[in-house]
A and B are shown apart, each in its own frame.
Chain A
Amino acid sequence: MSAREEILTRVRKALADREAHAHPGDFGSWQAEPSGSIVPAFMEAFTSTGGEVVRVADEAQAGAWLREFSADFSGTAIGDGVPMALRPPLAAAPPAAADLGVSMATSGVAETGSLVLGARDGRRTQLLPPTHVVFLHTSDTVATLKEALNAMKGTLPSAIGLHSGPSKSADIGQVLVRGVHGPGRVIAVLIGADQ
């Protein structure tokens, strides 16, 4: 018998007399309904962990903001998912050398303050540069993580990252430090009006 068969046999035998439990189904609500609209809730959650937020009306403004912001950086890595309109002429660098990374989020989750980043965008760009700018259309924000997961279920890339603030650790003497491996600074640029 293969290890697979042995394990499955042992598991089935272990459960032979065990009462089966039904899945409890969906859980109603995790917390009090967020008051107000989704975008302010997202902003509050995202900034509470040390993330930064910038609001712009449209892609034109977003591109202009990025050009100005990136002027202080020597090299920018841009994720494949970032549309051309949001890539003003910037000094390019590979992710391992860039000091600024730019990504396009596929969605944002208000209840956890999370940016949903897909592998198609390019993971190195999302992780290696110490400062990370992430564009997010406000129309892509949802209230709950459950909604976000259900929306992406049918079209999963090889990997998804939920980024909910800057990289941090308290492993050194219980003191909080930022930017240990991932970016120490993450800025969500929200494009569009409140939802």
Chain B
Amino acid sequence: MSMRVALFATCLGDSFFADSVADAVRLLRHLGAEVHYPEGQTCCGQPAFNSGHMDEARRAAMHTVRTFDGADYVVLPSGSCAGMLRQMYPSLLGEPAAPLAERTFELAQFITQVLGVQDLGDGLQGRHIAYHHGCHALRELGIEDEPVSLLSRAGASVTDWEADQECCGFGGLFSVKIPEVSVAMADRKLDSLPEVDFITSADGGCLMQMSGRARRRKAAVRFRHLASVLWEATGRGSNPTAGAAL
């Protein structure tokens, strides 16, 4: 009896990390899930919510609740969007959001907590990786050890990084409202980073922020979405540069 999973690609996933979202589909199927993609999906509403535009946020949220109505599980390749559905929708919409909130998971969280999978394979042997803990995944969803464990049990060495749990400075619209401080926060992440093959994270926004700054600084470090790295961990993923945030 395979598990039915509704995939929520998210705005950034859909437009900027499409290959990684595809890798998430491959990974979930490989682990035995039946993946559905409700085509009416749009945006979780977080940009409006975080800027205080609650009416607009509510509209996007209600649409999302309707779109995913009846799903057994909703899985997102994004800590911040998953956090929005799990933690914020109940306070935004009340009761109507409760069923969706309970069944929503970020990808790594779903793999470890719902599928009960701790070992994906050994496809990351010899890789030196830095893991960026996105704030929503870490503090809203309480996800701390799961992604790191999946990576290291697949053979990667996940490096000690003094700033790994510090905010990268994206914060959605914060990145363009208070840009100089946002950039200084990205610099803090990059300046404290040891030598690694690449940085990975569960959040596209964080990856865009740090890679955008790194490329402007002509830093060589690469960035890959966690979904692609976890797919590679199974040993089935064939393209080691897949999911590179450009």
Chain A directly contacts chain B within the complex, with at least one CB pair under 8 Å: no
Q: Point out residues on B near A: beta carbons under 8 Å.
A: none
Q: Point out residues on A near B: beta carbons under 8 Å.
A: none
